Structure 1
């Protein structure tokens, strides 16, 4: 079984595993093998259902998804090592590997569609995606569809499967001697728009005598470029992503992580609040891969076992 065989359209620019070229938003379907529900000739819907029904958790899925044999996944595929395009233009990372393992339990395929991070929940609630897997931190605001006190959407339920805090990524050698959030006061910081890291930077800026200038971008690769070129002193990033970029970008010569993890919180698989049946099936599948050891193997592969959870939880974010 080959996971994610589909390549990106030729018009899309090449991207390395760490800091490749800036990603271009757009839809791209990438298939995660589940229970290998179609045969070599592609099969038909009836054949998918028959084979899918052999998976242990197939019957827990909503009838509509059983019939389609597919779960549509929204993701911003530019966030190594959680999800990214490798140097062969194949999708790779923690979430795609986890999706493949979940597919085996549920007996359906996971199809990833690439999009900008801050539009993913809108896509979920419009029906474009069935779920979101995109290193998305589970927060009360996202659960309730709020931006501060303002209602901005229907929100989502989250199946939490990993824990990660924020980290500060700076140029190799740390020329500005950044050690903590306090050292960012009065300086320019780059980060990805619509993330918990943007909220963290804004909250810190309010504590500063001199505010932080925040440069927010659609893609984290763009934020990293600002640091590399000296237009920002730091990128605030999720810990596994920051550590991965420090290790791989420029052969480990571009960046380094400074200070401790900040405010560790759960990553969640987002599901529409109207689709509790799918939410519960996803939770059961996550628990199953934790129990059978697939989950641990995936985290070991990507060297992020310090973010492991013992069981899936629903809406555990604060």
Structure 2
């Protein structure tokens, strides 16, 4: 869901000392800087202090509602997905932890990924949390194809880091190791993601170098793209590393797909918030800093096997 950094393998980040993390949290606190599914339930006391340490930092509208409405494409395991009718994954678990600090319910609403920012702009959601890459284009509201302003930009509270991976049918990699090897072949991706943007950009590079373009087939969700590849309708698929790795591990009991090559374009996932909603943005940043400091964040990323993408600080708009 990833953006442009230099191409490299994502490596585990070194941990800051607990004292430093607590100091960051203290500084933040002093500055005050579709489907309804996963919910972090809190107490019903009218005393704000009983609801959560950061309840008073939230916009009054959200305090009154007791709910943060989340737009999310709930079909992207292990980040967010449904199992037996229940929403689960990295994002819902992190939302639950943030909800405890903020004293409100995070209410996930299902939508296709490419409609999330428009839903945020129209106030259908308070935030978008869906393995969404924080990059300058989204911050500024720029269309990745035209390079022109397409709408209002958003702010991001960055909470994870991931790169983009290529995967193929198991035992049928067709000598694909890098994006250059995809010239003249077909790749399947989820529409509106950075994998989609990257595939289109790489296709243009193929053409400029005198090679055949990459045929890019985009779907409404990643599961549809995987189904197409599984059925032999493409040479490869691409998605964020945690998602591609999860598909390789679980699809067909691990017999359907294999990862090829290295991750590229490591970048942060961010919780998207409207630029005019700085009060909510800053409250989310403070809540994230708290769960990093108290160790709850580390427990969640470890639970989902994605510790290599963990962050050590709560940063706003860290994407390039």
TM exceeding 0.5: yes
**Which residue pairs with 2:91 in the alignment?**
95
**Which residue pairs with 1:61 in the alignment?**
58
Are the counterparts in 2 of residues 172 and 253 from structure 1 also a CA contact under 8 Å? yes
**Which residue pairs with 1:5 in the alignment?**
none
| Whole-Å separation in 2 of the counterparts to 1:129 and 1:50 | 26
- 1:75 pairs with 68, 72, 75, which one? 72
Q: C-alpha displacement at 1:51, in angstroms?
A: 6.0
Report SS of the residue matched to 1:178: coil
Q: Does 1:118 align with 2:114?
A: yes
Q: C-alpha displacement at 1:53, in angstroms?
A: 4.5
Report SS of the residue matched to 2:47: helix
> Residues 169-318 of structure 1 correspond to what in structure 2 (within 5 A)?
169-208=167-206, 209-318=211-320
| Whole-Å separation in 2 of the counterparts to 1:175 and 1:132 | 35
Q: C-alpha displacement at 1:199, in angstroms?
A: 1.0
Q: C-alpha displacement at 1:50, in angstroms?
A: 3.0
Structure 2 vs 1, CA of residues 52 and 193 (structure 1 numbering), >3 Å: closer, same or farther? Answer: farther
So what's the TM-score if we normalise by structure 1? 0.86
**Which residue pairs with 2:39 in the alignment?**
32
| Whole-Å separation in 2 of the counterparts to 1:52 and 1:147 | 43
Are the counterparts in 2 of residues 132 and 271 from structure 1 also a CA contact under 8 Å? yes
**Which residue pairs with 2:10 in the alignment?**
none
| Whole-Å separation in 2 of the counterparts to 1:199 and 1:154 | 19
| Whole-Å separation in 1 of the counterparts to 2:224 and 2:47 | 45
Are the counterparts in 1 of residues 226 and 237 from structure 2 also a CA contact under 8 Å? yes
* Structure with larger RCO (C-alpha < 8 A, sep 6+): 2
Q: Does 1:141 align with 2:141?
A: no
| Whole-Å separation in 2 of the counterparts to 1:93 and 1:114 | 14
Are the counterparts in 1 of residues 298 and 307 from structure 2 also a CA contact under 8 Å? yes
Q: C-alpha displacement at 1:131, in angstroms?
A: 0.4
Q: Does 1:154 align with 2:152?
A: yes
Q: C-alpha displacement at 1:180, in angstroms?
A: 1.0
**Which residue pairs with 2:17 in the alignment?**
none
**Gap runs ≥5 in structure 2:** 1-33
| Whole-Å separation in 2 of the counterparts to 1:54 and 1:107 | 4
Structure 2 vs 1, CA of residues 266 and 175 (structure 1 numbering), >3 Å: closer, same or farther? Answer: closer
Q: Does 1:164 align with 2:170?
A: no
Are the counterparts in 2 of residues 74 and 132 from structure 1 also a CA contact under 8 Å? yes
Are the counterparts in 2 of residues 37 and 51 from structure 1 also a CA contact under 8 Å? no
Q: Give the aligned length.
A: 281
Q: What do you get for the CA RMSD once the two structures are aligned?
A: 1.2
Are the counterparts in 2 of residues 93 and 302 from structure 1 also a CA contact under 8 Å? yes
Deviation string 1:25-76 (CA, Å, 9 cap, x unpaired) is xx10114214x234xxxxxxxx4x4366441111111111111100000000
Q: C-alpha displacement at 1:216, in angstroms?
A: 0.6
Are the counterparts in 2 of residues 162 and 268 from structure 1 also a CA contact under 8 Å? yes
| Whole-Å separation in 1 of the counterparts to 2:82 and 2:114 | 19
**Gap runs ≥5 in structure 1:** 1-26, 39-46
Are the counterparts in 1 of residues 73 and 130 from structure 2 also a CA contact under 8 Å? yes
**Which residue pairs with 1:13 in the alignment?**
none
So what's the TM-score if we normalise by structure 2? 0.86
Deviation string 1:178-198 (CA, Å, 9 cap, x unpaired) is 111111110000000111111
